[in-house]
Chain A
């Protein structure tokens, strides 16, 4: 039976009439798995396998050359109780996430609202505002940023026109992280495009009805725009927060790989890189990676759990 249906290529009707297990698998499931094969190999070999390995490594001492030594929870204990650099990098990353994401989204929404008023030249403005998003992750832009906020950089030249002598924003630990936050806000273009697409979905007759009832623009924004846009806000917030946690290149280039001055730009990812590829403490770096995963996971779970209280989905 099996052989026959394989040979004849079994038209659908016949197959349904005589469903032997093997022919069903071959005809129904095999094509799907064959197309999925490259991804499956990657998923098992480059994602799940390495994830489990790195979980194991996080409980070991491992220098890449000799085999890993089991040390139990030592890495995690040291991290939380005896590693000021870990806490410094945690503070820097949290500060970056907490300030860059909301500011970036606020900018993106404000500009999207301006662009959504049916103004002329929308495609041009949209493209101009999007350009920094596209270029911003590049090493070249980080190099440019280092110059702009240097002691003799572009910002201070503008300030000099008003007789203000600006500091070197990059080498002052009080301001260095802000230069990176500004770089992140500068790239508000892609969430802006997503907001614009969301704003287009809001039916205009809702606003017409509201203004006939005498609702002010601000009330329309708070009562119509914002609630209907919450799914988009939610989506943008999650994507941008995860991106902010993973950010690496700008801090690396601007601080020359050190995270200085005084660890003020020591992003968590940068610290992890130093531990792994500077000192070859692969076990400790794996533990750092799992703490990062736990953080991102907690944040995402928290967002999804609270979303039912503030995100409005259409029924």
Chain B
């Protein structure tokens, strides 16, 4: 029994180059087929949005027989309010969320990573705890609160929490990065009489562009994708986001106009896809270093 592995090693040793090439080809074949299988639905969706309506349900191919933009025109004005309004709303909400998250989370992270104060470890532990907290636990009282403030049907319930650093994930992400910057920077600046605010604004933030960009991009994508928040807080169609518009489309005209629904679905993914195209390195590094959930 004990000499079998030894024999095997000798055999593989003899044909190593050929076998290695074969394994490598097999791995590429496996990976490529997996990629095609995974991306096929997305490509099919893209193709379906350009197909003439009568062809959508007859074809499984990803190349339309004829190209048409009809579905986009129909879908854009498929509801009482045009998708243009939904896009503007989504961009406003996502844009403000990015500003709020980057500012408030970087301030909190600066306090945790570079300043000393009483009960710092306690607050840091509390912040980590909020990462695990299901949002349902705070949902109803928050709704009651925002309703009493008269904020229902405005963007405020979706945006104000971002200015209060409600997403601890980004604080955590930034704390990790800030801790990596040399401590001597702060000490030298303090010797020169720099206030903590100046150290934060003039030294730490400019050196932290990669992590700020990562946080900004993830905030944008998550807010853009968010369905639950808008579903609860926005009830008038003129304040809908793109995601709510899509959902309304599936309820009303969606059953009859699949082309329009698919065209608007594709359009709703375009901003995320563009971020993926241009910033994938930042996104992937952000996930690899902090273990982001998506």
Contacts and interface: CB of A to CB of B under 8 A. Distances in A.
A232 B130 CA distance: 21
A36 B168 CA distance: 12
B60 interface: yes
A35 B250 CA distance: 45
Given A54-B141, A129-B35, A138-B268, A119 B24 contact: yes
Nearest to B145: A50
B227 interface: yes
Nearest to B57: A152
A236 interface: yes
B291 A43 contact: no
B127 A43 contact: yes
Contact of B137 (A41, A51, A127, A152): A51
Interface stretch (A79-87, A94-102, A222-230, A241-249): A241-249
Contact of B269 (A125, A138, A190): A138
A35 B134 contact: no
Nearest to B280: A127
Interface in A27-50: 28-43, 45-47, 49-50
B188 interface: no
A78 B191 CA distance: 65
A288 B126 CA distance: 23
Contacts of B268: 138-140
A120 B129 CA distance: 41
Contact of B164 (A46, A49, A53, A277): A46
Contacts of B284: 126-127, 130, 193
Contact of B288 (A36, A37, A196): A196
Nearest to B249: A143
Contacts of A235: 291
Contacts of B60: 154, 157-158
B292 interface: yes
A32 B137 contact: no
Contact of B166 (A46, A239, A246): A46
Given A114-B30, A245-B134, A38 B108 contact: yes
Counting chain A CB atoms within 10 Å of each CB, which of B5, B140, B161, B291 scores highest?
B140
Interface residues of A, number: 101
B134 A41 contact: no
Contacts of A186: 38
Interface in A290-308: 290, 292-293, 296-297, 300
Interface in A221-279: 235-236, 239-240, 242-243, 245-246, 248-249, 252-253, 256, 269, 272-273, 276-277
B287 A190 contact: yes
B23 to A, nearest CB: 8
A71 interface: no
Counting chain A CB atoms within 10 Å of each CB, which of B142, B147, B193, B291 scores highest?
B291
B232 A35 contact: no
Interface residues of B, number: 96
Give the dominant DSSP class at B's interface. helix
Given A32-B115, A50-B145, A143-B246, A296 B108 contact: no
Given A46-B142, A293-B133, A135 B269 contact: yes
Contacts of B161: 42, 46
Given A32-B116, A140-B266, A114 B31 contact: yes
B98 to A, nearest CB: 15
Contact of A129 (B38, B134, B243, B264): B38
Given A46-B138, A135-B269, A139-B247, A243 B228 contact: no
Interface in A127-144: 127-141, 143-144
Interface in B121-179: 123, 126-127, 130, 132-145, 147, 161, 163-166, 171
Given A29-B117, A46-B166, A276-B139, A197 B289 contact: yes
Given A276-B139, A300-B132, A38 B163 contact: yes
B79 interface: no
Interface stretch (B41-49, B64-72, B206-214): B41-49
Which 10 A/B pairs are nearest by Cβ-Cβ distance? A42-B164, A32-B117, A50-B141, A140-B265, A35-B111, A53-B141, A157-B60, A50-B138, A197-B288, A39-B165
Given A119-B31, A138-B272, 8 more contacts: A9-B193, A38-B163, A42-B161, A131-B39, A131-B276, A134-B294, A186-B38, A193-B288
27 contacts: A28-B116, A35-B196, A35-B200, A36-B107, A36-B112, A36-B123, A38-B108, A39-B104, A42-B161, A43-B127, A47-B133, A47-B166, A49-B141, A114-B31, A127-B280, A131-B39, A139-B247, A143-B254, A143-B262, A144-B42, A146-B250, A154-B60, A187-B294, A193-B288, A252-B227, A253-B227, A289-B136
